Amino acid sequence: MKLSLILLSGLFFPGISMAQYTDSVSHHSKPKVVEFIPAAAAVGYGFIALNNNTLRRFDNYIHEQTNRRHPGFNTSADDYLRYLPIVAVYGLDLAGVKGKHNFVDKSALLLISGTLTMGSVHLLKSSSNRMRPNGLNDYSFPSGHTATAFASAEFLRQEYGDVSVWYTIGGYSVATATGVLRMYKNYHWFSDVVAGAGLGILSTKFAYVIYPSIRKWVTGKDQSNFVMMPVYQNRAAGFAFSGKF
């Protein structure tokens, strides 16, 4: 587990500082191409590993090491950890910590990111036909759990990375742990997890790039006069609406 965690961290944590840039619906700057390189390289690594003997042997090595150290390992934590960064985003919003976007906009961004992530994962799983390490089925590539976890971590980084770097570190740590657990449960090869991580990050990044245009096309405005915020008062939770009509 230590070896897998170090490998995944080395691939993605350097991208945390590279990917810090200011973006908002009303005042957004164009992202730099370099910010997409680590995630794109991860996806490329996964594709190459599908037919490269050297990388396949490395997948087998990681698989053998994890099984030898923790045979029969099983947990359901990965099913929940992948969503934890999303819970953190809305929890911080509910607690009054201001993120980059309001509730409606961040929800729309999450929807776009999730659609891109799950759509691409489904397409690749059904076309790559890679057998899982446990032989359960041929939907191994890429790791959907890992893709969701890293898409969620990037969502947290986009919204609260400028507030504190610890939100970014926390989100990416949880995502990395999700990928490692998928390998320990024999559901994925190392390259499946790496590709899934890159795919999830790219999906969220693209969501933030295209959302301002989509929003302007739908509303005809760069800025919204309508705001919806979660509220908690007198032991009751709900939403507060305000805006100009």
CA quadruple 181, 184, 187, 193: dihedral positive or negative?
Answer: positive
Cis bond leading into 14, ω under 30°? no
What pLDDT score was predicted for residue 137? 96
pLDDT 10s digits, 17-44: 333 333 445 445 567 789 999 999 999 9
Question: Is 184:70 a contact under the CB 8 Å cutoff?
Answer: yes
What angle do the packed helices 53-69 and 37-49 form, to 10 degrees? 90
DSSP state of 220: S
- Could you give the CA distance from residue 197 to residue 12 in angstroms, rounded to a whole number? 8
Rounded mean pLDDT, 194-201: 98
Contacts 24+ apart (CB under 8 A), 235-242: 239/103
What pLDDT score was predicted for residue 40? 97
Element (H, E) at 231: strand 226-233
- Kindly report the pTM of this predicted structure: 0.80
pLDDT 10s digits, 33-87: 899 999 999 999 999 999 999 999 999 999 999 988 888 899 999 999 999 999 9
What pLDDT score was predicted for residue 17? 37
pLDDT surpasses 60 at 139: yes
> How many CB atoms neighbour CB 41 within 10 A?
14
pLDDT surpasses 60 at 9: no
Share of the chain above pLDDT 70, in %: 78
Rg of the chain over all Cα atoms, to the nearest angstrom? 19
What angle do the packed helices 53-69 and 190-219 form, to 10 degrees? 110
Q: What are the DSSP calls for 101-141, one per residue?
A: S-HHHHHHHHHHHHHHHHHHHHHHHHHH-PPPTT-S-S--S
pLDDT 10s digits, 94-106: 999 999 999 999 9
Residues linked to residue 226 through DSSP beta bridges, in sequence order:
243
- Who wins on pLDDT, 241 or 186? 186
- Could you give the CA distance from residue 13 to residue 7 in angstroms, rounded to a whole number? 10
What pLDDT score was predicted for residue 69? 84
| Three-state DSSP state, 59 | helix
CB-count burial class (<10 Å; 0-12, 13-18, 19+) for 78: buried
- Who wins on pLDDT, 233 or 17? 233
pLDDT surpasses 70 at 222: no
Of 10-14, 31-35, 42-46, 219-223, the poorest mean pLDDT is in 10-14
Which residues have a Cβ under 8 Å from the Cβ of 141 and sit 6 or more positions away?
A: 46, 50, 124, 125, 128, 130, 189, 191, 192, 195
pLDDT 10s digits, 164-173: 999 999 999 9
What pLDDT score was predicted for residue 21? 35
- Could you give the CA distance from residue 187 to residue 210 in angstroms, rounded to a whole number? 33
